[in-house]
Structures are given as C-alpha cells and as structure tokens.
Structure 1
Amino acid sequence: MVFLPLCLIVFLQTSIIEEVYSSPAIGFSVQLSRDTHLGHGQAIRYDKIITNYGNSYNKWTGHFVAPKKGLYLFSCSIMAYNDETIHIQMVKNGIKVSTIYSNPSRFDHSSQTVVLVLQKGDSVWTRQAYSGRHLHKVAVYNMFSGVLISENI
C-alpha cells in the first residue's frame, strides 16, 4: 500500500480542480429583433445578442466559430411569419445536422437541440432551407444558442 503525504494529496486535488475550472466558459444566446426575409440557403443573422461569452458568435455572419475543441450543445427555435411555413437547418461546416419546421398555422413554434463534437475553427449556424422565407420578429420565438459542455473529449 502506498501512502502519500497530506500536502501532496491537497496539491493534486487543487491542481485537478483548477484545471477543470480555469478554462474560460463559452456560450451564446441570440434573437431576431425584426421580421426577417431570407434568401434560399441564407444564414440567419440573429442581431439581438443576449449573451456572447467568449465572443464566438458573429452577428454579421450568423456563424458560431468554435474557439477550442470540445463537446458543444446547440439549440434553435423558430416561428414563421404569419400564415407561412418555414424550414430551417442547423449546419456544421456547411453540412446539415438537423431541420426545424414551423407550419402555417398561426403561432406554430418549433425547436431542435443537438450535441456536436467540434474542432477549433469549426462553424455552426442556421440557414433557410426548402420552403418559406420569413421569420417572425417576435424575438423570443426565433433564437439560436450554444454552449461548450466540455473540452475533455
């Protein structure tokens, strides 16, 4: 049986705790502040920033760019404008990972959540797909969020 001195045990525990908590947090939540007309395949540029901790979401492009490798969670919610339908895709590096649909009944609201492994520099965004081109301006219905869950993958 090996016995370690108490000071070494405390040092090891402190080092592990510091490693877990020393990495800066990454997370964002954004909304639309106005009715939005989208072109075919156009990225949605959420212009109202609620949180952008780590500055990895770009409101001018609508893209989140991973500042580090890790396991991330992304969520998107949509509501089409008035009595229209709309399909939105969540995309990783240009490849569709999910599709969200809002049907033509008034105030239909849809959402989707995905967990993705990203490398540093990978991009995630939402874009118009298939049908529909208008998103309703009511910000709480059209949101995009993401957060780094863990770098330990």
Structure 2
Amino acid sequence: MIRQEIKVEKMKSDMQLTEQRVLDALEKLKTERSEFNKDLMKKEGDIEVLKTKMDEELKGMKVKTDETMDNFSKEVQTIQELAFTPIIAFKADTVGDRSLENNKVFVYSNIILNIGDAYNKDTGVFVAHVSGLYLFTALVCLIDNSWVLVGITVFDTPISKTAFGDKNWWKCYTINAITAVEKGNEVLVKCTANCESNEKLHEDTYAINSFSGVLIHKTV
C-alpha cells in the first residue's frame, strides 16, 4: 500500500514537472513570438522608410530626367532652327516721287519679288521678320549735274553709304551692304546729305531705280 502511494506521488511529481516544462516552453515561445513581432515591425518600418526614400529618389530622378529631356529638346529645336534658313527675298523698282531732300526715303512702288512679305511698297521700308545675315542692294540713278550722298540704313543707322553724281551725264550707281539685322529692324534707302530741292533721281525705260534684299543665313 505504501509503495503504491509512493508511486502515485512520484507520478504526480513527474506530471507537475512536465507541466511546468510545458508552461516554461510556452512562455519562452510567447516571449520569442513577441520579440519576433517586434523585430518584424521594426523591419516593416525600415522597409517603409526605405520605400519612402526610394520613392523620393525616383521622383527626384524623374524631375532631373524631365529637365534633361526638356533641355535636350530645346537644344535640338535651336539646332533645327539654325540649320533651317527660310526664304526671305524681295526686289522693288520705280520711284514715283523722284525729287530729293535730306533724309528722304526712296519709295520703290513696283514690287517684282516679295517672298516673306517683308517689304512695304507704300513706305519703301523692309522690316525684318527674322534675325540673320542679309544682303541688300540698291540701284540709284541721278540726273546730270547732281551730287548727293545716299545710304542703306538699318534701324536708322547708315551701314553703307557713298557719294554719287556727274556734271555732264545722268548715271546709275550701285550700293550694297552685307549686314546682321535683328528681328523688327527697318531697312531702307535714303538720301543722307547734299540733297537739294533742284536735284532728283533719273528714271526711264533703260534706267530704273531699284532696291533688293535677301536673307543669307538665319540667326537665333
């Protein structure tokens, strides 16, 4: 009987020990699970921070890429504009009012060519629609016994001028200029000095005053 009781007591002790071990194991698992969750949350936080940082870097890269592409597109457009020179050319002749006076603009009323529509036959003025290098030429015919100074002017500044005249014969003279002209500048031919009321241009079937110009190369 006593042995039986001892055996039962031993079984109870073993069961309690086993139970305690199970409880300890469960507690350990619980602690490990808690630590794991904390570590997981930390990693998730790190991942979120990393994701945010990557998103910011990607946005920054996109902005820089867009700026680079925009600058590249502008450079390509500029190169294309420089490479392409539009056709701008005009020629007009026949001056209706051939009397001369200082600073009087020669108005060539008969348009022979006006590609680009930049020359005005009512004012005698060419207005540059495009900045660039231009060639201008004027044919000036004077009656005999006349001496005048004539010039091609850009923005009211003479860029090519010379004295014309002959005592015994009417003659035609050529004046030209190759010059840079800005968009909006006015180009014209006028008598710059020594132009008195008794002097005038000569014009007939064989001698016709004229003014012409052409864009050689466009600039930006």
- Give the TM-score, by structure 1 length: 0.77
Identity over aligned pairs, percent: 28
Give the number of the structure whose residues are more often helix, by fraction. 2
Q: Which residue of 2 aligns with 1:60?
A: 122
Measured after TM superposition, the shift of residue 150 of structure 1 is 0.7
Distance 1:35 1:123 in 2: 21
- Compute the RMSD of aligned alpha carbons: 2.4
Give matches, 1:49-128, under 5 Å: 49-104=111-166, 105-128=168-191
Could you tell me which amino acid in structure 2 is paired with residue 94 of structure 1? Answer: D
Distance 2:103 2:81 in 1: 43
Q: Which has the higher contact order (CA 8 A, sep 6+)?
A: 1
5+ residue gaps, structure 2: 1-78
- Return the index of the structure with the highest Cα Rg: 2
Distance 2:153 2:147 in 1: 20
Give the number of the structure whose residues are more often strand, by fraction. 1
- Using a 3 Å threshold, how does the CA distance of structure 1 residues 17 and 68 change in structure 2: closer, same or farther? closer
Q: Give the number of equivalent residue pairs.
A: 137
Distance 1:75 1:86 in 2: 18
Q: Which of 20, 24, 38 is the matching residue for 2:100?
A: 38
Could you tell me which amino acid in structure 2 is paired with residue 145 of structure 1? Answer: S
Is 1:78–1:100's contact at 8 Å kept on the other side of the alignment? no
Q: Which of 190, 193, 211 is the matching residue for 1:130?
A: 193
Distance 2:94 2:179 in 1: 24
- Using a 3 Å threshold, how does the CA distance of structure 1 residues 119 and 35 change in structure 2: closer, same or farther? closer
